[in-house]
Amino acid sequence: MPKTSTENRAWIDEAIRRVDADANRSADTHLHVLPIPVPGIELYLKDESVHPTGSLKHRLARSLFLYALCNGWVGPNTTIIEASSGSTAVSEAYFARLIGLAFVAVMPASTSAEKIALIEFYGGKSHLVEDPGQVYDEARRLESECNGHYMDQFTFAERATDWRGNNNIAESIFDQMKAELHPIPSWVVISAGTGGTSATIGRFVRYRRFPTRVAVADPENSAFYGGWESDRSDFTTCVPSRIEGIGRMRVEPSFVGGVIDEMLQVPDAASIAAMRWVSTILGRAVGGSTGTNIWASLQIIDRMRAAGETGSVVTLLCDGGERYLGTYYNDDWLIENDLDIAPHLKTLEEFAKTGIFTP
């Protein structure tokens, strides 16, 4: 990006004002209590689906735009490009429109139709690739082809987000826990796509010297677990994750293993069973990665119960289920994808009765 001219500087000032004004108009997301029959232990859901663009990625997209604008990487004629599994692209399309720029999302062809429609609703274009592993190079290629700027969430998520505060997701959670029975959570359980959310929460917990531990739940076929377990950042897998938004075939640059205390692998059928189970309790549909978070949270809660521990556990409701009606909420799709959720649903129903979770 050439040196910033005076005109560009005025345009950048106005663009930043608009992004800030959007934040100023937005309320913080809720923290729900999810009732569980385990005496002395409470489970909380941080509801990121209520952001204007419906997912936790609204925060990240805002940070990435401010980071790029303040670095002088984006000007009045820049086309914004992102490689995404969908959620980030939906949020980035919103911010691109807010500051009057074109937006192109490079996504796997398997991305849900609902997400593609949402990106186009915000004025974005979808550029689909057959091989999910190709999204990075294709985004880079488009960037050089059309005076573009590749936002590259996988590299910059952990850098663009202010992990010390500034109303990041961690600060918001700890603020909202202040009046609870166990205000300092024993555990925060999240899953990883870029790894940015777990990096932010893990750093914040250490920075504020809270005793809280951070656990990351990983779906099938993801490289994060293997990479963390073997301390290898070059760990890869060759099959893409089936739980949209989380699990990657490589350990993404924004994944910071050093701030994670534990990782748990969650079967995809269990993620979808937990997604449906918690949707019934909440009375509204949640997304697949929320199911992954819930299943792992119940594993940790059961371990606390067995050890006679009391305390609170916080996890994330990452996005709404309306984006997955054609997949995770469709029984034919489950059969086509060989996902039998019945045994996992039984485990959850047993837990609801007894408070004992035996996956």
**Which residues sit at the interface with ligand PLP, rule CB under 6 A?**
55-57, 85, 87-88, 157, 191-198, 245-246, 287, 289, 318-319
Question: Least distance to ligand PLP from the beta carbon of 212, Å?
Answer: 18
The C-alpha atoms of residue 359 and residue 353 are separated, in whole angstroms, by 15
Instruction: Give, for 184, the enclosing helix (H) or strand (E).
Output: none
State which residue, 15 or 90, has the beta carbon closest to ligand PLP: 90
The C-alpha atoms of residue 71 and residue 255 are separated, in whole angstroms, by 22
State which residue, 8 or 88, has the beta carbon closest to ligand PLP: 88
Question: Least distance to ligand PLP from the beta carbon of 263, Å?
Answer: 13
State which residue, 8 or 87, has the beta carbon closest to ligand PLP: 87
Question: Least distance to ligand PLP from the beta carbon of 140, Å?
Answer: 19
Both tokens of 168, joined, read 């990041």
State which residue, 222 or 299, has the beta carbon closest to ligand PLP: 222
State which residue, 96 or 190, has the beta carbon closest to ligand PLP: 190
Question: Least distance to ligand PLP from the beta carbon of 83, Å?
Answer: 11
The C-alpha atoms of residue 199 and residue 253 are separated, in whole angstroms, by 11
Both tokens of 171, joined, read 């600060």
Question: Least distance to ligand PLP from the beta carbon of 196, Å?
Answer: 4
State which residue, 183 or 258, has the beta carbon closest to ligand PLP: 258
The C-alpha atoms of residue 341 and residue 267 are separated, in whole angstroms, by 10
The DSSP 8-state label assigned to residue 133 in this structure reads: G
Amino acid at 222: S
Question: Least distance to ligand PLP from the beta carbon of 169, Å?
Answer: 9
Residue whose Cβ sits closest to ligand PLP: 245
Burial 270-293 (b: 16+ CB within 10 A, else e): bbbbbbbbbbebbeebbbbbbbbb
Separation in Å, CA 182 to CA 1, 173, 185: 49, 13, 6
